[in-house]
Amino acid sequence: MNEKISAGKGFVMALILTILLVVFSIITSAFKLTEIWAGYMFFWFFSSVRAFDRSKLLPDVINSLIGIGLGFLMFLCMKHYGTAIFELVVIITMLVILFFLVTKLIPYVVGDATFLFFTILTANIFLTGGNYVDIAVCYVCGVIFFSLTLTGLFALLSRKKESTEAKTE
């Protein structure tokens, strides 16, 4: 989905995507989940960075969950060993992540999404009170909800486009 679209179609697409975000918010709120930003982050990454490329979905989900797990480990490190050790461990972990990100030696384990979630979850707010179970659950809910709805939406749009093209021939 990298082709340029008209302003009218862009507005309709933005409206549909916004409705999906609202529905996701309603669903997660019904289950008393509070870290819905994690599901939104998947949506942003999948739509903006990956341009809805479903072939990268599985590695990105694995990468993201590893990033979330590493963020949780940094939270534990900060809590049990203090700031100095935390900073050292974050720098070493960042070095390892960047090495594997640049070399692409284990792309199903460490990738763009690992780096994204690790850097977000080492922000001070998460180190002082993030709910990592809720973050992971909201992320997985976002993956399931948005990958299914967006896949269905694009399949429908592609069928509609193909039938329109067939009629014009």
The predicted-structure confidence for 55-108, as pLDDT tens digits, reads as follows 999 999 999 999 999 999 998 998 899 989 999 999 999 999 999 999 999 999
Predicted local distance difference test score (pLDDT) of residue 129: 72
112 vs 105: CA distance, rounded Å: 13
Say what the pTM is.
0.80
Q: In angstroms, what CA-CA distances link 49 with 24, 41, 105, 135, 168?
A: 20, 11, 21, 21, 33
Task: Flag whether 1 is in a domain.
Answer: no
Helix (H, G, I), strand (E, B) or coil at 36: coil
Percentage of the chain beyond pLDDT 90 is 58
Q: Is residue 162 part of a domain?
A: yes
37, amino acid identity: W
Q: Is residue 110 part of a domain?
A: yes
Whole domain around residue 63: which residue ranges? 7-168
Asked whether residue 113 is domain-assigned, the answer is yes
Answer for the pair 28, 36: CB distance below 8 angstroms, yes or no.
yes
Segment 105-124 mean pLDDT: 90
- Total domain count, the chain: 1
pLDDT higher than threshold 60 for residue 1: no
Residue 2 belongs to a domain: no
- 138: in domain: yes
Q: CB-side exposure of 38: number of CA atoms within 13 Å?
A: 28
Residue 60 CA from chain centroid, whole number: 8
- Is residue 1 classed as helix, strand or coil in its secondary structure? coil
Whether 145 is covered by a domain: the verdict is yes
- Which residues, including other chains, have CB under 8 Å from residue 27's CB and lie 6 or more apart? 141, 145
Distances (CA, A) of 168 to 115, 158, 161, 162, 164: 46, 15, 11, 10, 6
